[in-house]
Structure 1
Amino acid sequence: MPTAIDSHEEGRLRPAVPASGRGTVLTTRSVAPSESLDYWHDVVLDTLVGMDITTEGRTYDAAMRTDRLGNLQITTVECDPGQVHRTPRAIAHGDGRQVFVAVQGAGRAQVEQDGRTTELRTGDIGFFETVRPFRTVYPERFRMKIFAVPRALLQLPDTGLRQLTGRSIRPTGGLPALLAPTLDRLADTSASYAAPTADRLAESVIDLMAATAADQLGADPAELPGADGVLLLRIRTYIRWHLSDPGLTPAVIADAHGISVRCLHRLFEAEDSTVCRWIREQRLRECRQELAARPPGSVTLGQVARRWGFTGPAGLAKAFRNSFGLSPTDWRDRVWAGGASC
């Protein structure tokens, strides 16, 4: 039976069988001991991001449980001592579009990123930026609960994220004292929530993460997400989930959130944008990423266009040329020839 990572006894971690209905559980005990470390490399790459993993022994005892809650991927890992390194080579493979917000469940983690080092102890929170290298040393068997969050939903500039990494956020008071136990408990219970409760819960947790991050960066209390900021965050999340729907209009979005179209427009005007412009930008971003990831000839322009809410290739081509000055086909050819950035 697969082992999971839920319990400890007399201060020592031990594997436990997952409760019925839990998410995906993977363990090195499902393969031969001699294959355990190679297997774990593949598990981490498929579930989180590519990382080099080293350990003193030739075998490795590790387990992972992964669940989804709205926009959050929640992964609980329990492993033997060792070291993980998110290298530039791994980053170049193109994964890592999310920020990891982790809470140390047991053991210690010595973290290095962006020129800073810190130690996460039980209950501490850490932010990991996956588009830049980091290294974490685990001197003893440990448990860590990792929340993968779409970067845009945290509403943090790159400079802000750089200030948060390589730091331990201790839950001794204020927002961290609320966030840490919330994440710890949510990682253990996420599979028990059904939609739409799960979606609303995920939105609230992401809002709390964003507020905690802003607080750590010394933001003025007036700049922390207020009612309008939280509502706008939820609306943007809704839009991202429904980009493929060509019928995604301001009226549909406003109705889904119980507000007037006028109120919806006012929220985006405060951000110096419009609803329709923001939708178009998100659709174009997804189309660019797909065109960059797929070799020429592997997918038609019409397939990409309809997958992201354009009515057809002509609509995508017009929007693409207006925004970037060349056709989607020409842009993809330049990317694959190494002459443009995605």
Structure 2
Amino acid sequence: MPLSESLDFWHDAVLAQLVGMDISAEGGTYAATMRADHLGDLGITTVECDPGVVHRTPRFIARGDGREVWAAVLTRGLAQVEQDGRATELRPGDVAFLETIRPSRTRFPQRFQLKIFAVPRSRLGLSEADLRQVTARPMRPEGGLAALLSPFMSRLADTSDSYSRSAAEQLAGSAVDLLAAAAAQQLGTAPARLPGADRVLLLRIHAFIRWHLADPDLTPEAIARAHHISVRYVHRLFEGQGTTVSRWIRELRLRECRRELTRTTTRSLGVGGVGRRWGFTSTAQFGRAFRREYGTSPTEWLQHARGGRSIEKEA
């Protein structure tokens, strides 16, 4: 496929296999692969794609019949998801439900792999009101049911073509039962009441900061403008959390830089390149902030980490 036609081709492929979406990417070209299969009455699609933004708009929703709900397993990269009034970030291993008949927007800031299970909505046994409560809420594989669900679903997607028909139907039934149990668990642990207005606003600001973390112009003023509030109000919200907005942004950036430094795929960027990728305007600024936070320079920390003597601390 000529590169100049790759994004249009991918739009058509996604529409044919999944649902219609607006897909945008820098440069207008797109390197992506798709693997599609069925396991019993579950549709399974594995996509591996370049960074971009996927927007499920009302004009596309009219084309779908809404018979399926998606259970998505992120196995590589990051996904920043908005649906049903929630904004969340998925990391590798996370599982999340996504609705196909309501608008959604997902930003993938780096190349990613996503395994999508199309589940007949009737099989989950959830009301429409309950479905609205579980969409765009990550199930993290840190313990409990989610720790079982994530590797099971991921492995199932990779081996879906290796089972007999009867085994496939049994495995599909087990997968749906696990997903239904996970949804029920999410509903059972949902807060009994909505938090106060300040808490809701702070959560929205947290999500906004995470999504714009790489922008060097992310400032209290920019945050205030985006949320139609005063800068003073922004500072007051973070004071209630025992921190400042600038400190919170800096800690998140440093945490991402620390992770990035030890990834073999990004080592060619160098220390300065990693810092600039996450919003630091210069190598010197990044180095000073890193040393203040961790007591060592990025270069020294990287040498220890690569030598198996990591001195990192949790931020």
TM bucket (normalised to shorter chain) is: 0.5 to 0.7
Which residue of 97, 101, 112 corresponds with 2:71? 101
Equivalent position amino acid for 1:156 in 2: L
In the alignment, the residues of structure 2 paired with residue 162 and residue 94 of structure 1 have an alpha-carbon distance, to the nearest angstrom, of 18
The within-5 A match list for 1:237-248 is none
Q: Does 1:33 align with 2:14?
A: no
In the alignment, the residues of structure 1 paired with residue 30 and residue 154 of structure 2 have an alpha-carbon distance, to the nearest angstrom, of 25
Moved over 3 A (4+): none
Please state whether the residue corresponding to 2:115 is helix, strand or coil. Answer: strand
Larger mean CA deviation between 135-144 and 172-181 belongs to 172-181
Any gaps of 5 or more consecutive residues in structure 1? 1-30, 220-342
Any gaps of 5 or more consecutive residues in structure 2? 190-315
Which residue of 145, 157, 162 corresponds with 1:175? 145
Instruction: Report what 2:128 is aligned to.
Output: 158
Deviation at 1:161, TM superposition (A): 0.9
Please state whether the residue corresponding to 1:217 is helix, strand or coil. Answer: helix
In the alignment, the residues of structure 2 paired with residue 33 and residue 187 of structure 1 have an alpha-carbon distance, to the nearest angstrom, of 28
The answer as to whether partners of 1:49 and 1:95 remain within 8 angstroms in 2 is: no
Q: Does 1:135 align with 2:105?
A: yes
Instruction: Report what 1:80 is aligned to.
Output: 50
Count of aligned pairs = 190
Instruction: Report what 1:244 is aligned to.
Output: none
Please state whether the residue corresponding to 1:159 is helix, strand or coil. Answer: helix
In the alignment, the residues of structure 2 paired with residue 94 and residue 121 of structure 1 have an alpha-carbon distance, to the nearest angstrom, of 28
Which residue of 63, 66, 91 corresponds with 2:61? 91
Amino-acid identity (%): 63
Give me the TM-score of the superposition, normalised by structure 1: 0.54
Equivalent position amino acid for 2:92 in 1: T
In the alignment, the residues of structure 1 paired with residue 108 and residue 65 of structure 2 have an alpha-carbon distance, to the nearest angstrom, of 23
Please list the CA deviations of residues 2-60 of structure 1 after superposition, one character each: whole Å capped at 9, or x if unmatched: xxxxxxxxxxxxxxxxxxxxxxxxxxxxx111110000000000101111101111210
Which residue of 208, 213, 229 corresponds with 2:183? 213
In the alignment, the residues of structure 2 paired with residue 147 and residue 39 of structure 1 have an alpha-carbon distance, to the nearest angstrom, of 22
In the alignment, the residues of structure 1 paired with residue 5 and residue 139 of structure 2 have an alpha-carbon distance, to the nearest angstrom, of 36
Please list the CA deviations of residues 96-149 of structure 1 after superposition, one character each: whole Å capped at 9, or x if unmatched: 421000010100000000010000000001110001000000000000000000
Give me the TM-score of the superposition, normalised by structure 2: 0.59
Q: Does 1:185 align with 2:155?
A: yes
Please state whether the residue corresponding to 1:144 is helix, strand or coil. Answer: strand
Instruction: Report what 1:64 is aligned to.
Output: 34
Which residue of 2, 15, 33 corresponds with 1:45? 15
The answer as to whether partners of 1:115 and 1:166 remain within 8 angstroms in 2 is: no
Please list the CA deviations of residues 208-243 of structure 1 after superposition, one character each: whole Å capped at 9, or x if unmatched: 110111011108xxxxxxxxxxxxxxxxxxxxxxxx
In the alignment, the residues of structure 1 paired with residue 65 and residue 124 of structure 2 have an alpha-carbon distance, to the nearest angstrom, of 18
Please state whether the residue corresponding to 2:26 is helix, strand or coil. Answer: coil
The answer as to whether partners of 1:125 and 1:168 remain within 8 angstroms in 2 is: yes
